[in-house]
Structure 1
């Protein structure tokens, strides 16, 4: 099911795909998710949902996603941090201007998405990112 795209995955994992195997990317993703789950008090079921790309069904699952995006700097103060997204994209895509622009376009499309609750904000931002990526035909984590 391709119902969940983490902005982190869009901007980082795609770029890392050139130097990491799919198994290595999945391992890194799961490690980050488990670290955030421990920090957020989320359950293993919340991590399992994330790993199989299901939308979060609980507050813990949403908070894992917030933690991951905040750790990378892509979400700050419950909003997409467009400058940080551009910086991460520049690193992930070896400075490729067209890919960096796509990342900025996606971030800008979701720039007004927020919520007072950081976990809800992350869930809404990631849903926006998923929809924006789909409309542009960008590959999902399942395709990597």
Structure 2
């Protein structure tokens, strides 16, 4: 059975790019995490549903909902977005698939300079960049890299 940290890790990476489709138990944990963050960010059910659909939030509270999910999954540490943590998570998750890992690394290179002084805005900009970089490479954010590369 996966540890809670592993589930948070997968959820965090899923919000970044959808490295892999979530299993049912991970999906339930994702919903629980988002509902906890919903209250902290004063977000709405629509904001939660948008993230569950792997879409970048447009309103500020939705962006802060995403920031909270990144914080709880360890991607944001002490108010700072950690590209190194993203790289480490992706490498660990994709280590058994060199093609997927190569695509992920290309996407990270493309998006690693995304910045904004507001961490909520930066969270949304990074997710947007990673989704666009993935789409350019044939990655469906709902399916994830592993499943998508089978059809590339």
The answer to whether the superposition gives a TM-score over 0.5 is yes
- Which SS does the other structure have where 1:34 is aligned? helix
User: What is the match of residue 3 of structure 1?
Assistant: none
TM-score, length basis structure 1: 0.73
Any unmatched runs of 5+ in structure 1? 1-5
The answer on whether the counterparts of 1:12 and 1:92 sit within 8 Å (CA) in structure 2 is no
TM-score, length basis structure 2: 0.70
User: What is the match of residue 6 of structure 2?
Assistant: none
User: What is the match of residue 50 of structure 2?
Assistant: 49
Go from structure 1 to structure 2 and tell me whether the alpha carbon gap of 1:109 and 1:75 turns closer, same or farther (over 3 Å shift): farther
Shift of 1:106: 1.4
Q: Write the distance in 1 (CA, Å) between the matches of 2:58 and 2:18.
A: 24
Go from structure 1 to structure 2 and tell me whether the alpha carbon gap of 1:13 and 1:99 turns closer, same or farther (over 3 Å shift): closer
| Runs of 4+ with >6 A deviation | none
Aligned residues: 133
Any unmatched runs of 5+ in structure 2? 1-10, 148-152
Residue 116 of structure 1 pairs with residue 117 of structure 2: yes
User: What is the match of residue 99 of structure 1?
Assistant: 100
Residue 74 of structure 1 pairs with residue 79 of structure 2: no
Query: What is the Cα-based RMSD across aligned positions, in Å?
Result: 2.8
The answer on whether the counterparts of 1:11 and 1:92 sit within 8 Å (CA) in structure 2 is no
User: What is the match of residue 130 of structure 1?
Assistant: 131
Q: Write the distance in 1 (CA, Å) between the matches of 2:80 and 2:132.
A: 19
Go from structure 1 to structure 2 and tell me whether the alpha carbon gap of 1:28 and 1:13 turns closer, same or farther (over 3 Å shift): farther
